[in-house]
Amino acid sequence: MSNDTPTRPTLRLKPKADARRIRHGHPWVYLDDVVADRRSRAITPGTIATLEDADRTPVATVAVNMESRIAARVLSRDPDAVIDAGAIAARIKIALAHRDRLYAEPFYRLVHAEADGMPGVVIDRFGDAAVLQPNAAWADAMAEDIAEALVGLGVVHVLLNASGRARSMEGLSDDTRWLRGGVDAPIAVPMNGATYMADLTGGQKTGLFYDQRPNHAFVAGVSRGARVLDVFAHVGGFGLAALAGGAVSALAVDGSAPALGLAQDGAARMDRTADFTTRKGDAFDLMTALAEEGERFDVVVADPPAFAPAKPALTAGLRAYERVARLAAPLVAPGGYLTLCSCSHAAELSKFRASSIRGIGRAAREAQLIHTGFAGPDHPVHPQLAESGYLKTLTFRMLD
């Protein structure tokens, strides 16, 4: 792709489009806001271009994909910016400097898309390995440059993870492959005193959810001497953190046998095998069964997948979050704690909180909200992009 600003293509905003929004920092330009003529439609997805306002005044340097709802992603508000391998390496180096201040060990989200100046790019680091999710056409086209930048910072193994709804919406392939090196076994990840096993090639997303790190720590803090239930546990996120925080036992519930196997491996590495049990199956069915069995726990956590990944799913998603709260609340012993989570950016905090409170009320439980949590600081929020602040957790203390 050409970065020669006099010769690279231009994309023009419609007269009614608000160019000030882009000039003030919003990173997305929607298809409805640009002139979609034969010339612009011919721009190859991923091409670097100059965005102009309706008067043909340059506004920004953007990456174009006219086949996507997001027709352009702002790479720089400098219309003459050059986006090449050197620029990519510089941005990743800036992101790394932030994480190096936060964490003593190299296990974190290294690049969090727009908030780190790399629209559509997610990079999770696992020691000397990294998983790259180039969820925008420009990043997919520059994947080799991104991989080389990572190698320059000490990463040995780089996996391009091509799964996920975002890539399909950009018209990208689902070809997951190693760009550098290769790892053929799960990686042990230390976090909050626990050990997690991340399967980079066969697990969900990039293999581990770093975003819950501070919320794991909070739950661990109320879990001393507790019996803990971790629903939608994946590789044991909250359950293993609770054991590290002094819980006497943890039961992990999930629908994935491989994920629960990794959770058990993590417990074994912590020498807590005897205190960690699992039940595989549908989370809703198992919560119902546990209630019928008369089970009660001091701490219950429910961290489901995104029930409302986009606005069309919001109503159904909020009903699902209410149902989770209704089924989980009866499993908490009086005086115990219930943590409910949502990673749906479409379900903003007030709506998620209202659904959770309704569910607790329908379970005939009285509770106080004691803590609201968000993603960790390695998942920065873009100030003008609400979607980058997707994670919410609510912890309630049951009073009856």
3-state secondary structure 201-254: CCCCCCCCCHHHHHHHHHHHHCCCCCEEEEECCCCCHHHHHHHHCCCCEEEEEE
3-state helix, strand, coil in the chain (%, to 5): 35, 30, 40
Return the pLDDT at 309. Answer: 87
What the block records as the tokens of 400 is 């009856």
How far CA 56 is from CA of 1, 15, 19, 226, in Å, comes to 22, 10, 11, 64
Return the pLDDT at 119. Answer: 97
Rg (CA), the chain: 23
Q: Are 345 and 314 spatial neighbours (Cβ–Cβ below 8 Å)?
A: no
pLDDT tens over the chain, length 400 residues:
446 566 899 999 999 999 999 999 999 999 999 999 999 999 999 999 999 999 999 999 999 999 999 999 999 999 999 999 999 999 999 999 999 999 999 999 999 999 999 999 999 999 999 999 999 999 999 999 999 999 999 999 999 999 888 898 899 999 999 999 999 999 999 999 999 999 999 877 788 999 999 999 999 999 999 999 999 999 999 999 999 999 999 999 999 999 999 999 999 999 999 999 999 999 999 999 999 999 999 999 999 999 998 889 999 999 999 999 999 999 999 999 999 999 998 999 999 999 999 999 999 999 999 999 999 999 999 999 988 889 999 999 999 9
Residues tagged active-site: 343
Q: Are 25 and 383 spatial neighbours (Cβ–Cβ below 8 Å)?
A: yes
Give Cβ neighbours of residue 270 (< 8 Å, ≥ 6 apart).
194, 195, 240, 243, 244
Q: What's the rounded Cα separation, in Å, for the pair 397 and 400?
A: 9
Q: What's the rounded Cα separation, in Å, for the pair 336 and 398?
A: 6
Return the pLDDT at 272. Answer: 98
Short-list 229, 230, 268, 222, CA closest to 246: 222
Return the pLDDT at 336. Answer: 98
What the block records as the tokens of 226 is 């507790």
What domains, with CATH codes, occur in the chain?
10-76 (2.30.130.10), 85-180 (3.30.750.80), 187-398 (3.40.50.150)
Return the pLDDT at 277. Answer: 98
Q: CA dihedral in degrees (173, 174, 176, 179; nearest 10)?
A: 10
Residues listed for the chain? 400
What DSSP string runs through 143-206?
A: HHHHHHHHHHTT--EEEE---SHHHHHTT-----EEEES---S-EEEEETTEEEEE-TTTSSTT
What DSSP string runs through 32-81?
A: GGB---HHHHTSPTT-EEEEE-TT--EEEEEEE-TTSSEEEEEEES-TT-
Q: Are 307 and 392 spatial neighbours (Cβ–Cβ below 8 Å)?
A: no
Return the pLDDT at 7. Answer: 82
Q: What's the rounded Cα separation, in Å, for the pair 379 and 255?
A: 27
pTM summary value: 0.94
